[in-house]
Amino acid sequence: MRAGDLTAFKSDVARWRGGAFDHTVRASAERVVRDVRRRGDAAVLATVRRFDRPRARLGDLVVEPAAIRRAARSCPPEVRRALDLAHRRIRAFHARQQPVAVTRRDKDASVELVPVPLDRVGALVPRGAVSYPSTAMMTGVPARVAGVRELVIVSPMSRASGLDPALAYAATLVRADAIYRAGGAAAVAALAYGTDRVAAVDKIVGPGNAHTSAAKWLVSADVGIDALSGPSELAIVASRDADAGSLVLDLLAQAEHGAGAFATLLSNDATLLDAVSQILRRIAASGSRIGCYRAPSLVAAALAVNEIAPEHALLAGDAAVALRDRITHAGALFVGMRSAVAFGDYVAGSNHSLPTGGTARWSSALRVDDFVHWETRVAVRRPERLARAGATVAAYEGMRYHAASMEIRT
């Protein structure tokens, strides 16, 4: 655990981030992507055997809908009920994001901007000790709300067991057409370029490790991607009335994301910072990337959060909540002592696929709009006035055939 002031806070965040991936990771991912493009499923299987299941076979790579439904039936009832609730809330919120066509008509022409759902999407669902059914819903729900025709979930195999029942149940909720059982750069390459067992997709969404992000970057000229995900992040701004015990749990929950995740607490109240630090020391959290930082004021703390643009931000305590409009650069902002960030990971209804690494300055949570492309449609009714103006500009630019193609319409 690290303690310091706002200068130390900014320095630590810069050091902890260090980019989504380095040159060594990129070179490794590039070799895998090249191999999958050349050998398809055989190359994917080789990586599965190396990292996940040594005795995997080609037939294990794809799970079809009927097999998904069979596996889902073994999901424990209490987990099914919890996933049902999460699914209803996520779908209800995302349904309100439905893109709407934009039209302008006058006597000369009509111009439309029409949302068209993507045909095929690949959703990356990483796994730790178990699979993450929450991520299957966070990626699958907005895709289905948008009207995506085909959805393929891609998730690594476990070393010994079959398909995770909770992942299978989540896949049935989002009506996944198949689960392709691979991970990392190989899975990304398979989705981008297709293999005998999985067709190429229009867009790849969802989080992953550094090799996954490197592979997404490598294939992004050929297929759409949502973002290059880095380690998970949390910045808490807390006033003196915040509950120290709850803040400790928020910090530790963020650290559970592992693989470079960091969690920070900023406050102008030394007593609160000391209380949180003491609890963390008692439970031996010193090895985690958790920091407590003294700010000269809560406003200064909020400005520092904006500067780093974290994935998650939490305002805890009444005085901190009053600054909600000051936080404008965060992937997701959680307001109030009761609003644990973990609610957003599972059941609040918001999406937990969020911008990391400071990209919240210009990027956003995964949403329905990410699963459509916008097609412009133009219909000219009365070309005379438009042809005169258009031909004048075209002639100035030296585009005589542009001018002629408009003028002949009159």
Q: Is the pLDDT of residue 286 over 80?
A: no
Q: Is 312 a catalytic residue?
A: yes
Question: 87, 94, 211, 312: which one is catalytic?
Answer: 312
Q: How many CB atoms lie within 10 A of CB 212?
A: 27
- Give 374's pLDDT tier (boundaries 50, 70, 90): very high
Q: Is the pLDDT of residue 1 over 60?
A: no
Gap between the Cα atoms of 226 and 216, Å rounded: 9
Q: Among 62-66, 105-109, 142-146, 255-259, which stretch is predicted with the lowest mean pLDDT?
A: 255-259
- Identical fold for domains 2-19+231-361 and 26-225, yes or no, is yes
Q: Among 124-128, 199-203, 241-245, which stretch is predicted with the lowest mean pLDDT?
A: 124-128
Q: Is 311 a catalytic residue?
A: yes
Averaged pLDDT, 47-55: 93
Gap between the Cα atoms of 237 and 273, Å rounded: 11
Q: Residue 106 is encoded by which pair of tokens?
A: 């006058």
Instruction: Write down the pLDDT at residue 39.
Output: 98
Per-residue pLDDT of 57-87, as tens digits, reads 999 999 999 999 999 999 999 999 999 999 9
Instruction: Write down the pLDDT at residue 158.
Output: 87
3-class DSSP string for 84-119? HHHHHHHHHHHHCCCCCCEEEECCCEEEEEEEEECC
Question: 87, 233, 257, 311: which one is catalytic?
Answer: 311
The β-bridge relationship of strands 178-180 and 150-154 is parallel
Q: What fold does the segment set 2-19+231-361 form as a domain?
A: Rossmann fold (3.40.50)
Half-sphere exposure of 264 (CA within 13 A, CB side): 32
**Radius of gyration over alpha carbons of the chain, in Å?**
25
- Give 169's pLDDT tier (boundaries 50, 70, 90): very high
Q: Among 8-17, 46-55, 74-83, 254-263, which stretch is predicted with the lowest mean pLDDT?
A: 254-263
Buried b (16+ CB within 10 A) or exposed e, 285-294: beebbbbbbb
Structural domain spans, the chain = 2-19+231-361, 26-225
Averaged pLDDT, 369-378: 98
Per-residue pLDDT of 318-350, as tens digits, reads 999 999 999 999 999 999 999 999 999 999 999
235 beta partners = 264, 313
**% residues pLDDT > 70 (the chain):** 98
On whether the CB atoms of residues 234 and 263 are closer than 8 A, the answer is yes
Instruction: Write down the pLDDT at residue 22.
Output: 85
On whether the CB atoms of residues 163 and 62 are closer than 8 A, the answer is no
Count Cβ atoms within 10 A of the Cβ of residue 220 and give its class: 0-12 exposed, 13-18 middle, 19 or more buried: middle
- Give 287's pLDDT tier (boundaries 50, 70, 90): low
State phi, psi for 152 to the nearest 5 degrees: -115, 125
| Selected residue with higher pLDDT from 159 and 320 | 320
- Give 21's pLDDT tier (boundaries 50, 70, 90): confident
The β-bridge relationship of strands 62-63 and 178-180 is antiparallel
Phi-psi region of 262 (alpha: psi -120 to 50; beta: other; left: phi over 0): beta
Gap between the Cα atoms of 214 and 359, Å rounded: 16
Q: What fold does the segment set 26-225 form as a domain?
A: Rossmann fold (3.40.50)
